[in-house]
Amino acid sequence: MAKSMCRAVGALVLAIAFLFPSAISVGAQADRGIAGFAPVRVEAELAREQKLRAIPDAAHAESNLRHITSEPHLAGTEGSHRLAEWLRDQYRSYGFDAEIVSYSVWLPQAREVKLELKTPNTITLGTPEQPIEIDKDTYNKDAVMAFNAYAPSADVTAPVIYVNYGTQEDYRALEAMGISVEGKIAIARYGRCYRGIKTKLAEEHKAVGLVLYSDPQDDGYSAGDAFPRGPWRPMSGIQRGSVQYTQIYPGDPLTPGVGSTANAKRLAPADAKNLPRIPTMPINAQDATAILENLGGPHVPHSWQGALPFTYHIGPGDAVAHMKLVMDYQQRPIYDVIAKLHGTNDGEWVVLGNHHDAWVYGAVDPGSGTATMLETARALGELVRSGWKPQRTILMCEWDGEEPGLIGSTEWVEANRAELQAKAVAYINTDVAVAGPNFTASATPSLSGLVRDAARAVQGPHSAGSVYDAWLEHAKRGQTELSGIARTQGGSEKMGEAPVDALGAGSDFCPFLDFAGIPSIDTGFVGDYGVYHSLYDDFYWMKTFGDPTFAYHATLAKVLGTVALRLDEADVLPFDYAVYAAAITRATNDVISRANQLGIQDATTQAVADASARLTASAAHVAQALQRSGYASFDAATENRINHELVSVEQALLAPGGLVGRPWYKHTIYAPGSYAGYAAEVLPGVNEALDRDDAATFQQEAAALAAALSRASVRLDEVAQLANASK
């Protein structure tokens, strides 16, 4: 065929693909195959996916979110209970077997939150968020007052010291200046780390209290127009949030490691290691102004200056504040919704989840995820009604109590750990599902390819290309940070591909990955989002700024549905352990280099190096064996054994005794940083020991890491042997 004719035909194909994408995509994609699928099954799978992706609908998603945000639904309240019952009924209407699973957990509610500036003038602070005339929901008297969950009751009066973001680096800078917060009330701005870390550090430095505020530099008028004119936090906006020490362990503080069932053995609150001992309260920028402009002492370092219209000082100066918190701690019920779509093989589960509780209305966090999950479930249910039978059982879970400390998911995972480890092939999480137009994803490295492939398969809502195309283009512009919420760039991305981040903490994937060793994914669309955890995160904000047409909600439902289908229907589960091993090798090389610089060079570091090299070799052998098989040469029994071993690799990376000092966290490769909270620490045990220059703990953690890598290699070797024996 002449080149000119080839160009003409090619142009015609591209035009047809653009105007009628379903007309040619199945055959074209079938030629390329799908990871984990035998060639003979690819075309049918692609046709099934196209049918699923035709179902999610923006109008349905909008209706879902309107109901979800119709009233405040804080965990432990009847609003949350009513929403759980509605969600259960929705899942049942889609053909799922749905039930509510309740746990009794130690959960506070605020009765009084008071802040006053006592000198140089008496000013009553702690003012509530101002209603906005155009947004009727901001007038609701049932909106919870602004407080920090798990702060203790207290009544303190003390001078105030400004500690910038309240990070380790900030306290080191204060020490270098000869300034102590001992006996003082610290005031810190939100950002850079999880708020519970800020409380922990203030407590460690012997402050008597902590006040948190949102500086306009971080998520207010410095970023853009403030609500209601724009999407950013207004001066009266307050970020609520938990200060539970989830970096030690999440969930019910009184039942670490076990589900909070009726007969669970509970700690005394005084013995719970993840509870703060000093009071913390959040305020808005208006109230922070009254405190900060009265601080004396030296000018702050340049990088500490925020956007309020005066020069910041460290203090204490004339500012003396009075904090009073009255917290009502009780055993309170929370309500998880567990919905099952039973498959042919109920011995394998694909699990999806998001939380349904919110600080107030939670249109973005988490309502956008709940609305999207419902559309995903509706699409899967329609496929079943049309004659499809899932190969594996699909679970869709709506967790309660995430905001106070990942409680609903943690208690369910702890209560069902053995069954999960036997059956769950992966966990797919969405939370802040839609806050703008930019796709982002985090995952265990073995699943990063699956996420990218699913994004390639889904048409973008406002472009000719795919979700992946827009994702990659946005990443190239260097704008992958989620405004208002910390994220961490992972080390598992391939050069030239859209980045898949490392999983840290801050959402419900944490117990699945860090405690139970279930391969996990977290994904959503992000953007300019300044009303996080405030009264203003409501339906009006979403309809005006976040996703006015709800096209991104429907698009994410298509992505989630595609990921779920590929995990559900794959002959061999599509884990890429070569990518995982490469990420681990990079991380172990860095650790060994750091250890050598500190004078640690012994049999322990050599054992880590050897175990990492063996894992790389084992992963390569598996990839070669499965590629040769074409995923098509296995009988049912062998296929089941291969899949079981592939899933168990992640569990092999758990240390039975957990990390030193925080045994709930058992994953040797990923955990939230002890002084970061949300952000992932890669190889947490060894790296944090090196941070402390603690050679003894380093050797202990390095031995546990080497053993975990060796266990993972054994599992991969078994897969390779099974695959090679079936040729």
In terms of residues, how long is the chain? 727
- As a whole number of angstroms, the distance between CA 355 and CA 366 comes to 6
**Lowest mean pLDDT across 131-135, 221-225, 595-599:** 595-599
Tokens of 232: 């950013």
pLDDT at 619: 98
- Domain endpoint, select from 513, 539, 567: 567
Within-domain flag for 32: no
The domain that holds 352 is classified in CATH as 3.40.630.10
- Residues 6 or more apart in contact with residue 169 via CB below 8 angstroms: none
Give, to the nearest 10 degrees, the angle between helix 467-476 and helix 448-457. 120
Q: What share of the chain is helix, strand, coil (3-state, %, to 5)?
A: 45, 20, 40
- The residue behind tokens 């009066």 is 157
- Residues 6 or more apart in contact with residue 393 via CB below 8 angstroms: 340, 341, 342, 343, 345, 346, 348, 349, 350, 423
Q: Report the pLDDT averaged over residues 231-239.
A: 98
Q: Are residues 336 and 323 part of one domain?
A: no
Q: Are residues 72 and 120 part of one domain?
A: no
pLDDT at 10: 32
**Is the per-residue pLDDT at 493 higher than 70?**
no
**Is the per-residue pLDDT at 602 higher than 90?**
no
What is the reported pTM?
Answer: 0.94
Within-domain flag for 10: no
Q: Are residues 75 and 120 part of one domain?
A: no
Within-domain flag for 30: no
Within-domain flag for 7: no
| Cα–Cα nearest to 425, from 564, 553, 282, 264 | 564
**Percent of the chain predicted with pLDDT > 90:** 89
Radius of gyration of the CA atoms of the chain, in A: 26
- Split into its structural domains, the chain has a count of 3
Cβ pair 204, 197 in contact under 8 A: no
| Cα–Cα nearest to 396, from 561, 575, 552 | 561
Within-domain flag for 506: yes
Q: What is the pLDDT of residues 355-369, one digit of tens each?
A: 999 999 999 999 999
Amino acid letter, residue 139: Y
pLDDT at 161: 98
Q: Which helix (H) or strand (E) holds 672?
A: strand 670-672
Within-domain flag for 17: no
The domain that holds 150 is classified in CATH as 3.50.30.30
Q: Report the pLDDT averaged over residues 26-36.
A: 66
Q: What is the pLDDT of residues 70-115, one digit of tens each?
A: 999 999 999 999 999 999 999 999 999 999 999 999 999 999 999 9
Q: Are residues 232 and 91 part of one domain?
A: no
Q: Are residues 93 and 120 part of one domain?
A: no
pLDDT at 646: 98
Within-domain flag for 180: yes
Q: Are residues 208 and 162 part of one domain?
A: yes
Q: Are residues 518 and 406 part of one domain?
A: yes
Q: Report the pLDDT averaged over residues 516-534.
A: 98
Q: Are residues 247 and 233 part of one domain?
A: yes
**Percent of the chain predicted with pLDDT > 70:** 93
Confidence of residue 19 (pLDDT cuts 50, 70, 90): very low
- Domain endpoint, select from 328, 348, 382: 328
- As a whole number of angstroms, the distance between CA 260 and CA 586 comes to 39
Burial readout 424-456 (b: 16 or more C-beta within 10 A, e: otherwise): bbbbbbbbbbbbbbbbbbbbbbbbbbbbbbbbb
- Domain endpoint, select from 567, 593, 610: 567
Q: Are residues 625 and 720 part of one domain?
A: yes
Q: Are residues 134 and 87 part of one domain?
A: no
CA angle (321 as vertex; 315, 327 as ends), nearest 5: 130
| Cα–Cα nearest to 716, from 634, 644, 645, 630 | 645
**Is the per-residue pLDDT at 483 higher than 60?**
no
Torsion region of 183: left, alpha or beta (phi above 0 gives left; psi -120 to 50 gives alpha)? left
Within-domain flag for 309: yes
The domain that holds 701 is classified in CATH as 1.20.930.40
Q: What is the pLDDT of residues 687-708, one digit of tens each?
A: 999 999 999 999 999 999 999 9
Tokens of 73: 């639904």
Number of C-beta neighbours around residue 271 at 10 A: 10
Confidence of residue 549 (pLDDT cuts 50, 70, 90): very high
Chain-wide mean pLDDT for the chain? 93
- As a whole number of angstroms, the distance between CA 205 and CA 147 comes to 22
Amino acid letter, residue 60: H
C-alpha torsion 64→69→70→73, nearest 10: 120
- As a whole number of angstroms, the distance between CA 184 and CA 173 comes to 17
- As a whole number of angstroms, the distance between CA 319 and CA 120 comes to 6
Tokens of 364: 């973005």
User: What's the half-sphere exposure (Cβ side, CA atoms, 13 Å) at 453?
Assistant: 22
- As a whole number of angstroms, the distance between CA 576 and CA 646 comes to 10
Q: Are residues 258 and 364 part of one domain?
A: no
Q: Are residues 526 and 415 part of one domain?
A: yes
Instruction: Tell me phi and psi for residue 125, to 5 degrees.
Output: -115, -160
Amino acid letter, residue 603: A
- As a whole number of angstroms, the distance between CA 696 and CA 592 comes to 15
Cβ pair 553, 371 in contact under 8 A: yes
Domain range for 204: 109-328
Q: What is the pLDDT of residues 417-438, one digit of tens each?
A: 999 999 999 999 999 999 999 9
- As a whole number of angstroms, the distance between CA 60 and CA 545 comes to 19
Amino acid letter, residue 551: A
The residues carrying an active-site annotation are 402
